[in-house]
C-alpha cells in the first residue's frame, strides 16, 4: 500500500496527468455532443453512436500513462525510486496499477459522460441502455482504457524517452492497425490479430447501434467480445512483463 500511495502522490504532483485527463474528457464528450447535435433520421442517435469517439480519449490517456514513466527517466528521479524500493519490479508494478486504475476511472467518465450529454441534447432519441451489448459498449470502456494504460506504461518503460514512446503509441494506434488492412491478400488477416482491433471488437461486437458503414471495418475476429478482451489483456500484460524484465537488467 505504501508503494501505491507513493506512486499516486508522484503522479498527481505534476501537471501533465491533470491536463491529459481534462483533455480526454473534454475532447471525447465534446465530440459526442457535436455528433448528437447533428444526428437526423438518416443517421439516428443511439448508444453506440454516442461512444464513437472514445478512442480519442483512450489515446490521450495512453500518452499520460507513458509520461508517468518517461518523465521519471528524463529527470532522473527513477534512480531514487529504485534505490528506495527493494526491487525495481515492485516499483514499476505499483506505478502500473495506479495509472491503470486512474485510466479505468477516466474511461468510465468519458463513456457515461458521452452517453449523458447525448441524451440531454436529444432527449427523444432511444438512448436507454437495456441490453448486455449496450452495457458492454459503455461500461466496458473503462476496461479498455485501463489495459491500454498498461500497454503504454510498458512501452514507456522499454523506450524511456518521452518523444519516442509517445510517437510509437500514436503512430501504431492511429495509423498502423488501420493501414495494415490495405496490404493485398494478407492485410485483413493480419488486422484480425491486432490488439486495438480486438479492444474495439470487445466494445462493439454484436452491436446494431452503429449505422452501416460507420465506425471501423467489421472483421472476422477469431474470438467473441470477451475473448477479444482477454486477448488484448494478454498482449498488454505480456508486453509489461517484457518491459519489467528489461528494466530489471539494464541501468536506470
Tell whether the torsion through CA atoms of 147, 113, 28 and 197 is positive or negative: positive
Number of CB atoms found within 10 A of residue 206's CB: 12
Cell numbers given for 106: 477516466
pLDDT digits (tens, 9 = 90+) for 191-241: 889 999 999 999 987 765 445 554 445 678 888 899 999 999 999 999 999
Determine phi and psi for 45, rounding to 5 degrees. -75, 140
**Inter-residue contact 229 to 198 (CB < 8 Å):** yes
**Dist CA 69 CA 135 (whole Å):** 33
The DSSP-derived string for 79-142 is HHHHHHSS-HHHHHHHHHHHHHHHHHHHHHHHHHHHHHHHHHH-TTS-----SHHHHHHHHTHH
HSE value, Cβ hemisphere, 13 Å, CA-based, for 63 = 21
The DSSP code for 217 is P
**Inter-residue contact 208 to 98 (CB < 8 Å):** no
HSE value, Cβ hemisphere, 13 Å, CA-based, for 159 = 21
The DSSP code for 32 is H
**Inter-residue contact 103 to 24 (CB < 8 Å):** no
> Quick one: pLDDT at residue 209?
47
Cell numbers given for 138: 459503455
pLDDT digits (tens, 9 = 90+) for 134-158: 999 999 999 999 999 999 999 999 9
The torsion defined by the Cα of 198, 203, 207 and 209, in degrees rounded to 10, comes to -130
> Quick one: pLDDT at residue 250?
77
Nearest to 3 by CA among 66, 67, 85, 58: 85
Residue 242 has pLDDT above 90, yes or no: yes
**Inter-residue contact 187 to 180 (CB < 8 Å):** yes
HSE value, Cβ hemisphere, 13 Å, CA-based, for 62 = 26
> Quick one: pLDDT at residue 39?
84
The torsion defined by the Cα of 100, 28, 226 and 4, in degrees rounded to 10, comes to 10
Poorest-pLDDT segment among 45-59, 62-76, 195-209, 228-242: 195-209
Poorest-pLDDT segment among 37-51, 73-87, 153-167: 73-87
3-state class (DSSP) for residue 202:
helix
- Orientation of helix 88-121 relative to helix 141-159, angle to 10°: 140
Amino acid at each position: 500500500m505504501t508503494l501505491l500511495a507513493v506512486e499516486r502522490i508522484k503522479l498527481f504532483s505534476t501537471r501533465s496527468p491533470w491536463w491529459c485527463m481534462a483533455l480526454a474528457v473534454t475532447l471525447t464528450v465534446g465530440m459526442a455532443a457535436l455528433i448528437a447535435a447533428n444526428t437526423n433520421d438518416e443517421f439516428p442517435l443511439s448508444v453506440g453512436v454516442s461512444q464513437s469517439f472514445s478512442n480519442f480519449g483512450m489515446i490521450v490517456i495512453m500518452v499520460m500513462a507513458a509520461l508517468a514513466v518517461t518523465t521519471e527517466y528524463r529527470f532522473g528521479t527513477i534512480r531514487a525510486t529504485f534505490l528506495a524500493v527493494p526491487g525495481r519490479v515492485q516499483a514499476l508494478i505499483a506505478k502500473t496499477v495506479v495509472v491503470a486504475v486512474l485510466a479505468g476511472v477516466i474511461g468510465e467518465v468519458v463513456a457515461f459522460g458521452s452517453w449523458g450529454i447525448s441524451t440531454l441534447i436529444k432527449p427523444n432519441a432511444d438512448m436507454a441502455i437495456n441490453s448486455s451489448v449496450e452495457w458492454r459498449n459503455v461500461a466496458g470502456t473503462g476496461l479498455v482504457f485501463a489495459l491500454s494504460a498498461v500497454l503504454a506504461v510498458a512501452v514507456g518503460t522499454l523506450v524511456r524517452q518521452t518523444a519516442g514512446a509517445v510517437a510509437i503509441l500514436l503512430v501504431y494506434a492511429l495509423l498502423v492497425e488501420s493501414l495494415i488492412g490495405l496490404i493485398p491478400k494478407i492485410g485483413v488477416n493480419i488486422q484480425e490479430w491486432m490488439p486495438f482491433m480486438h479492444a474495439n471488437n470487445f466494445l462493439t461486437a454484436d452491436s446494431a447501434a452503429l449505422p452501416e458503414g460507420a465506425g471501423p471495418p467489421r472483421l472476422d475476429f477469431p474470438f467473441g467480445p470477451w475473448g477479444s478482451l482477454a486477448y488484448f489483456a494478454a498482449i498488454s500484460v505480456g508486453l509489461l512483463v517484457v518491459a519489467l524484465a528489461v528494466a530489471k537488467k539494464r541501468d536506470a
